[in-house]
Homo-oligomer: A and B are copies of this chain.
């Protein structure tokens, strides 16, 4: 995934000559704590945060150019950078927004912390049964019932608690990948559990074939 696939294109360009008071109203209206300042070619030249605006309003500054951070202080990502770069910038510097630029240094979007949260959170939200479907698809010829029976057995072995194949199926219909990795104690353990299931299914199949 590239930065440009993660960015929000719904943002407002500011100009150096824009008035501080006017900009404060715009930022309130669009609910954005940060805005890029660009030149006539939409190239990034500065950066405004609500902190600059409150200071500017207090001190009676008139133009954005008087209060903005200069270009050299702005962390950007290129549209073709891995989305991960924007995520790391946000996480490590506690940024609310990272501007995305193209080859001409034109601002074409903004990666926002809340959008990253939504994205990462969505990935965690995938239902566990979807992973089972992928597993069934991969382990050709294995039925869903066989998979559930094997899973119930593995679960019993790991947790010590008896669970029927039917109950297991109900669990995975509702639980998400995120919940499952918290519940099992980490990604490695979650995967190890799924692999055990695959292993058990294959062992049973091999056993049946030999009969």
A-side interface residues toward B, CB under 8 Å? 1, 21, 24-25, 27-28, 31, 33, 50-51, 53-55, 57-58, 82-84, 87-88, 90-92, 94-96, 112-118, 120-124, 126, 130-131, 133-135, 137-139, 177-179, 181-182, 187-189, 191-192, 194-196, 198-199, 202-203, 206
Q: Quick one: given A84-B179, A90-B117, A96-B33, are A131 and B28 in contact (CB under 8 Å)? A: no
Pairs across A and B, CB under 8 Å, 24 listed: A1-B182, A24-B55, A25-B58, A28-B51, A50-B54, A54-B54, A84-B178, A87-B121, A90-B114, A91-B122, A92-B118, A116-B117, A117-B117, A120-B124, A123-B124, A131-B191, A134-B189, A134-B192, A134-B195, A139-B195, A139-B199, A195-B195, A199-B202, A202-B202
**Chain B contacts of A117 at CB under 8 A?**
87, 90-91, 113, 116-117, 120
**Chain B contacts of A94 at CB under 8 A?**
31, 112, 114-115
B33, A191: Cβ atoms closer than 8 Å: no
